[in-house]
Structure 1
Amino acid sequence: MTATAFRISVPDDVLDDLRSRLVRTRFTTASDTTAWAAGVDPGQLRDLVDHWAHGFDWRAAEAALNTFPHYLAEIAGARVHFVHLRAERPAGTPAPLPLVLTHGWPSSFVEMLAVARRLADPVGHGADAADAFDVVVPSLPGFLYSEPVRGPFTRRRVAEVWHALMTGTLGYDRFGAFGGDIGGGVTQWLGALYPGEVTGIHITSAVVTTDFRDQPPTAEEQAYLDALAAYDATDGGYSEIMCTRPDTLAAALADSPAGLLAWIIDKYREWSDCGGDLESQWDRDTILTVATLYWVTGTIGSSFQQYYHYPLNRPVPAVTVPAAVTLSHEPAYAGLPRSLTERVLTDLRHWSTPGRGGHFMAHEEPEQVADELRTFFRPLRSDG
């Protein structure tokens, strides 16, 4: 399970084909007079597609991504892509703590890069050298440059692959884990399965157990669960089709970059802490970097696999390692009681509700996330 260096390099003909498709996009008309009421606003999509075709400089974005050290490794019969950023630390300072950061959907390793830089080089970002981390940022299986796992995509299976990456490929004896969305589920499974190697876990999308047989939900917990169900009724259409007809949707998105972009930005607007104004949180080139990576790797369809296989996931067992939650500021977690999380995270040492930073918190608020991670892991560095 050795790792080999890798650089992102998209052939010119792939970019030429992308541009040709973009300039020939056929746009729809809005179904509602209120922008975004029925999905992506056609006017805003048109503007983004025009910028993608005529203003976005992929080669500059590619060069910026390649300032990070990328690697590929074969684990359990599949290729895993990851960024491995080793700590910058002066001589005589403590050894860095290894930390794996896991993204979600419709995201990518790009979400974690700004946080990774801050964690690996604390002095360069105004923090203490003793808080340095060796940071590993993998691409989820089937996302971008990572191949799908063999067999079902479950959070537990990804945790098993990440454990092999951290301990087998990279040789770390102990490590911490952080993530949100799918990455949060993977992170919880890492803590549940490997308490001997996992120093602690930190999540932004808090788990809600579905097993209430032994202890029914309290009135506060039930109120939250009811509110979550009501929100899902208005937001869950995307999930239903990816869970039941992923290949039908993928056929359209793999052939239309504008359609792919619409599918992605619908969630970037809905789930991020942008107050409904997409470009108040996301600059165009950031959005288009993510969209281009999905397009050139042809992996939007394989990224749906974790939705199609979602029923195969089982509730996370009790996680006994030290845990932290920095709660995402998005509709799905509004009013979530700490007690629900404590049903699974039995040693919850850090609970924070900063009120900013949504589904893609590491991308939206990298300084906040870096500070939260340093704070939580600081007392754990000498444990074990």
Structure 2
Amino acid sequence: MPENTVPSLPEDTVSPTSEHTASPTSENARIEPYPIHIPDRELTLLRTRLDAVRLPEPETVPDASQGIELDRLRTLLAAWRRHDWRATEDRWNAIPHYRARLDGLNIAFWHVRSPEPTALPLVLTHGWPGSVLEFESILGPLTDPVAHGGSAADAFHVVVPALPGFGFSERPRERGWQPARTARAWAQLMSALGYERFGAHGGDWGAFVSTELARQVPERVAGLHLTMPLASPLPEDRNAPTPAEQRMLERRDTHLADGYGFGMIMATRPQTLGYALLDSPAGLAAWLGEKFAAYSDTRPGSGGGVSVAQQVENIALYWLTGTGASSSRWYWETMRWVPRSAEEENAQPVTTPTACSLFPAEPWPTARRWAERRYHDLRFWHEMDRGGHFPGLEQPNLLVSEIRAAFRHARHGAGDQVR
């Protein structure tokens, strides 16, 4: 393979083995084990590129208002040069990892079964610029709570798929892979695994997919847990907001005007952007690293946000799977599908029991009364005192606690109130 081409996923980056035996299969899903292995030549090429990066002069302001600061990027690149991808692979391959053919696309996913026979199946969906790595540290506490100081009654069988065009999932070669189609694929996957009733969790794009799951197959989704509920203010909400809502409106408006340029680029010209993200590790690190910093809770005493090591691991995953362009196209696809107004959102109601955990550094804050218009069975609404857009990386223990609480109603009866 020429050095200037992207590895063809999934075949060139993994070593598929025998038929999947840990879970039921279906002819449509074609589930098989999927250990990963990046070729040595790709790691060598990455090191060469990292050693030859060309950086601009420093920003002319003393903050991040022009984008990720030069010193911050240099720190990321230095950490990336030291990063041991083979150690990441070893950790990854220690987790049961599979591939399934869903709606014509190869989807890669972790599937970790609980030792508890009454465990509730749960599908966790990530977003951008994250990956399935957002959930790695919570797999143990969710699937084996007793071993992590919890109760067997809170156990889950956990399924963590990579979105189409992300990580080791195949890159779509046709239009149409947006949250609704992805949710249908997730429902098919859960059926293939033998899970007819399950919970769904997500933030960022994972919130869109999880919400769609609840809308499409409400009889199968036992509960929905979101860290970014999809509910926008109506025009009249701006006329008489509470003080808290006014702060949310200001934060949303500021983010849309000054912090969402990346989303508009990916929603309109993902292919043009993709050339830079596939060709320059420094460009990819800057593009992803800016949002890891901007969307996490870096206040003193709040945990420090997403660590440099966590950022590097996610950035390396995007680089080594060649998914900078395909993950950007997710915005292009979804922005042509997503409701255009709060009224259109509310015309797509969710009747599944829903729980929401709100973290203070979330760039899209939501008020409860906005959410209640769309999520008609809102069981609890918990506003956290720390954490941001990536709770699985920033505050994994809090996220585990919130997920456990969110689905207790699904185990103990629909009439139970969690909080």
Matched, 1:312 2:333: no
Greater Cα shift, 34-43 or 295-304: 34-43
Against the structure 1 CA distance between its residues 49 and 145, is the aligned structure 2 distance closer, same or farther, given a 3 Å change threshold? same
Equivalent residue number for residue 284 of structure 1: 308
- How far off its partner does 1:201 sit? 0.2
One-letter amino acid of the structure 2 residue matched with residue 11 of structure 1? P
For the residue of structure 2 that corresponds to 1:137, the secondary structure is strand
Greater Cα shift, 33-42 or 246-255: 33-42
Against the structure 1 CA distance between its residues 72 and 21, is the aligned structure 2 distance closer, same or farther, given a 3 Å change threshold? same
Equivalent residue number for residue 194 of structure 2: 171
Selected match of 1:40 from 55, 68, 76: 68
Matched, 1:259 2:283: yes
Q: Distance in 2 between matches of 1:159 and 1:345?
A: 18
- How far off its partner does 1:101 sit? 0.3
Gaps of at least 5 residues in structure 1 are none
- How far off its partner does 1:19 sit? 0.2
CA displacement, residues 251-302 of structure 1 (integer Å, 9 cap, x when unaligned): 0110001110111110000001113999933333322111111111100100
Equivalent residue number for residue 398 of structure 2: 368
Equivalent residue number for residue 387 of structure 2: 357
CA RMSD, 1 decimal: 2.2
- How far off its partner does 1:217 sit? 6.6
Equivalent residue number for residue 199 of structure 1: 222
Gaps of at least 5 residues in structure 2 are 1-28, 415-419
Greater Cα shift, 24-33 or 105-114: 24-33
Equivalent residue number for residue 29 of structure 1: 57
For the residue of structure 2 that corresponds to 1:266, the secondary structure is helix
Contact 1:270–1:276 (Cα < 8 Å) also in 2 = no
Q: Distance in 2 between matches of 1:219 and 1:181?
A: 28
Instruction: Calculate the TM-score normalised by the size of structure 1.
Output: 0.92
Q: Distance in 1 between matches of 2:103 and 2:353?
A: 28
CA displacement, residues 60-109 of structure 1 (integer Å, 9 cap, x when unaligned): 122112221100000000000100010023xxxx5110000000101100
Contact 2:120–2:157 (Cα < 8 Å) also in 1 = yes
Q: Distance in 2 between matches of 1:153 and 1:3?
A: 20
For the residue of structure 1 that corresponds to 2:336, the secondary structure is helix
For the residue of structure 2 that corresponds to 1:28, the secondary structure is coil
Greater Cα shift, 108-117 or 130-139: 108-117
One-letter amino acid of the structure 2 residue matched with residue 292 of structure 1? A
Contact 1:177–1:187 (Cα < 8 Å) also in 2 = yes
Counterparts of 1:1-384 in structure 2, within 5 Å, are 1-53=29-81, 55-89=82-116, 95-149=118-172, 150-167=174-191, 169-209=192-232, 212=234, 219-220=240-241, 223=246, 224-225=248-249, 227-275=251-299, 280-309=304-333, 310-314=335-339, 315-316=344-345, 317-330=348-361, 332-334=363-365, 336-383=366-413
Equivalent residue number for residue 17 of structure 2: none
Aligned residues: 375
Aligned-pair identity in percent equals 38
- How far off its partner does 1:134 sit? 0.1
Q: Distance in 2 between matches of 1:277 and 1:158?
A: 38
Contact 1:23–1:50 (Cα < 8 Å) also in 2 = no
Contact 1:2–1:73 (Cα < 8 Å) also in 2 = yes
Q: Distance in 2 between matches of 1:141 and 1:379?
A: 31
Greater Cα shift, 147-156 or 40-49: 147-156
Contact 2:128–2:204 (Cα < 8 Å) also in 1 = yes
Q: Distance in 2 between matches of 1:375 and 1:73?
A: 30
One-letter amino acid of the structure 1 residue matched with residue 369 of structure 2? S
Contact 2:122–2:199 (Cα < 8 Å) also in 1 = yes
Q: Distance in 2 between matches of 1:349 and 1:278?
A: 27
Q: Distance in 1 between matches of 2:413 and 2:106?
A: 33
Against the structure 1 CA distance between its residues 278 and 63, is the aligned structure 2 distance closer, same or farther, given a 3 Å change threshold? farther
- How far off its partner does 1:227 sit? 4.4
Against the structure 1 CA distance between its residues 255 and 235, is the aligned structure 2 distance closer, same or farther, given a 3 Å change threshold? same
Contact 2:362–2:389 (Cα < 8 Å) also in 1 = no
Q: Distance in 2 between matches of 1:16 and 1:147?
A: 23
Contact 1:21–1:257 (Cα < 8 Å) also in 2 = yes
Instruction: Calculate the TM-score normalised by the size of structure 2.
Output: 0.84
One-letter amino acid of the structure 1 residue matched with residue 385 of structure 2? G
